[in-house]
Structure 1
């Protein structure tokens, strides 16, 4: 992760990336829309005790590869092929009891799903046998080939990227991407193609500074710690971390160890967080972690490539999350989220500018892929991509077709509505 991060690049008083952008075709012949009809279900997932919305709740259509996730307001949109009316949907999230519901429970709008908090005394369950967190993490890494996908696959994912200045959204990017996911026991990097994308930036709110995120979907894809162990959990570097057990948890009705980890060497920005490891199979099923950036100069050197004269630019908080899903006994990357806070200080200004960059991606469908010609039939994007500015499409309600997306948060939806009005006025 330290080698592959979001960079800021600048010229004069505009903090933007200056390089040749890769032109990506939106007409990938391998993924033309099908004639399959679908039904869209919308609603929210809430805490049964207090009715508060539950974010990042995972909704999976059983006996299929279709899934989605709730937004920060607990809202979801799930698109299902019309002929799957007898299916069931499992809703799960850390800290709550999973719930499986028939598709008939869902409505086109205003479906409310209540989840009960997990209150079971997990510490007394005899299933927990591990006593050494270091050995457990080493076993987790050693069993990667056994526990994760060993075949190549094509994953359909929805990606969203937002940049805020203060409380205002100034840049919105969304995309449906196709990921060529190489096996977890392979050193080959994953490949990504844009299928649909739209973006708009309101530079009027940016004053003299504009930030852009470099890497796009790759920022969330590279959070797959079990595929890209070289960035955080290199097997040969395990002894450079301190591990200890936290209270165990339950995820998707499975018992998990919770292991706290922190880098011992704190001379540079250093990682710390939690690993959620399946108690039965020693599989990493979730990770939440951060990069300590208290050393502003070191953090700036790592993340800021260029900056305008007379300014200081540095990150103040970097947090990450990755979730895995299981299909037929094998686990795979399901969701990644990165949140990054930056500060810009000007030499002759009293007040600084604060920016918040959020990017998240959820796998909404996947299938095994036995061919070897996928990358020949699509236009691949580069890991250094900056999502294209001012892509039309926010006014088209059918833009995403049958693709599952993450429902926009209320603040994002307000920004999208403003974009629509601006487009209608033209």
Structure 2
């Protein structure tokens, strides 16, 4: 039987958006490159393709129009850019070729076949998934990892923005087998909220950055695949694909006869060589309204009923050297609210995403004090008082809710480094 406490922690913090990774190392000067990534066969733009400066943490992704902006410190201007997208061959190009700022990167779908040896290595897809989870610590750092991340949380009623919160956070991630809990520290934050658009219902997300961090399946597999639930899913091999020119197993999973109180359907992408989880995409089964009514709700008025319409989850991992790191996750929840004695119901969408922008391994001087740790039950919109620093956000004090997370990080990148230097000076 599923642990109800674990289930509540997970299902009360579920949500979606786009992603970008940037190194936040000190930069005394940089050059900006712009361009577009397209499919070589169809000429359609590719959204969320990853561009990485070789042998660095500096990276970004394309927006919904396939466009990218990449800011590179002067010390790396002789480097190459590695362009990847799941299911496509990797493309490598010298930075010098992107100089005209209208460069078009063309990616081609990879034709991938697994050898008989690869297929025979596992009795079935379920045995592969069990192997990945049992060996989950082999592909990650043996010590703690101190990360900087950008977090964004939005609430919409229909298509109108009600609340937008943005924050820069520090994360101390412990090894997968460690009994120590990951810690998150709020560093800088701001919000724009118009609760009048919520009418008589105030909608808030509990968990804040934890809502996205708990999607890290390799650290928190129990939130979806517990020892009891893992056998309650069907696992089927899909056509393999590639990422970074390496073959990736694709496994579809779906519940067996709705045995669980909470059921998911999705895909897992697993590196053939290392058996590391590369990416996971999955959705909550909301087809049974009686079963899912109020499922994702922590607290509500007695005259309100909440029905989830859609719940989508995604987590990505990034490889550097021979290790894999949690790099990005997002969740999106759309639900309708029925209130007694009201003729029309209301539809809301809550979205949350977090992108890791930089990390340092096994750094003994990188700590988060107990008094600075956020609680997993935090409501971030209520917690950011005292962290709003107009000087940090600079001229970008107005939040632009329809801009990508890439755009937001671009604008505050320099200020993050300036603030880090000021903090070092103050702390001596």
TM range (shorter): 0.7 to 0.9
Q: List aligned pairs for 1:22-421, cutoff 5 A.
A: 34=26, 36-106=28-98, 111-118=103-110, 120-122=111-113, 127-129=118-120, 130-235=122-227, 237-264=229-256, 265-371=258-364, 374-376=367-369, 379-388=372-381, 391=388, 393=390, 396-397=395-396, 406-408=405-407
Q: 2:415: which partner in 1?
A: none
Alpha-carbon displacement from aligned partner over 1:112-168 (angstroms, at most 9, x marks no partner): 4332233x1535686444441121112112222212222211112222222221122
Whole-angstrom distance in 2 between the partners of 1:248 and 1:383: 37
Q: List aligned pairs for 1:13-24, cutoff 5 A.
A: none
Q: 2:416: which partner in 1?
A: none
Alpha-carbon displacement from aligned partner over 1:352-373 (angstroms, at most 9, x marks no partner): 2111122112222211133166
SS state of the match for residue 368, structure 2? helix
Unaligned runs of 5+ in 2: 1-5, 14-23, 412-428
Whole-angstrom distance in 1 between the partners of 2:38 and 2:192: 31
Name which of structure 1's ranges 129-138 and 214-223 shifts more when overlaid on structure 2: 129-138
Q: How many residues align?
A: 382
Give, in angstroms, the shift of residue 228 of structure 1.
Answer: 0.7
SS state of the match for residue 122, structure 1? coil
In 2 relative to 1, CA 109–6 (structure 1 residues): closer, same or farther, beyond 3 Å? farther
SS state of the match for residue 375, structure 1? coil
Contact 2:141/2:361 (CA < 8 Å) preserved in 1? Answer: no
Whole-angstrom distance in 1 between the partners of 2:371 and 2:60: 24
Whole-angstrom distance in 1 between the partners of 2:96 and 2:37: 16
TM-score by length of 1: 0.79
SS state of the match for residue 212, structure 2? helix
Whole-angstrom distance in 2 between the partners of 1:68 and 1:291: 29
Give, in angstroms, the shift of residue 196 of structure 1.
Answer: 2.5
Whole-angstrom distance in 2 between the partners of 1:256 and 1:349: 51
Contact 1:171/1:201 (CA < 8 Å) preserved in 2? Answer: yes
Residue 3 (1) aligns with residue 2 (2) = no
Give, in angstroms, the shift of residue 79 of structure 1.
Answer: 3.3
Contact 1:336/1:362 (CA < 8 Å) preserved in 2? Answer: yes
SS state of the match for residue 407, structure 1? helix
In 2 relative to 1, CA 256–121 (structure 1 residues): closer, same or farther, beyond 3 Å? closer
Give, in angstroms, the shift of residue 374 of structure 1.
Answer: 0.8
SS state of the match for residue 343, structure 1? strand
Give, in angstroms, the shift of residue 247 of structure 1.
Answer: 1.5
RMSD of the alignment, in Å?
3.1
Whole-angstrom distance in 2 between the partners of 1:399 and 1:87: 35
Q: 1:421: which partner in 2?
A: none
Give, in angstroms, the shift of residue 182 of structure 1.
Answer: 0.9
Give, in angstroms, the shift of residue 345 of structure 1.
Answer: 1.6
Whole-angstrom distance in 2 between the partners of 1:88 and 1:185: 36
Give, in angstroms, the shift of residue 383 of structure 1.
Answer: 1.6
Contact 1:2/1:302 (CA < 8 Å) preserved in 2? Answer: no
Give, in angstroms, the shift of residue 221 of structure 1.
Answer: 0.9
Greater helix fraction, Structure 1 or Structure 2: 2
Contact 1:154/1:178 (CA < 8 Å) preserved in 2? Answer: yes
Whole-angstrom distance in 2 between the partners of 1:178 and 1:285: 23
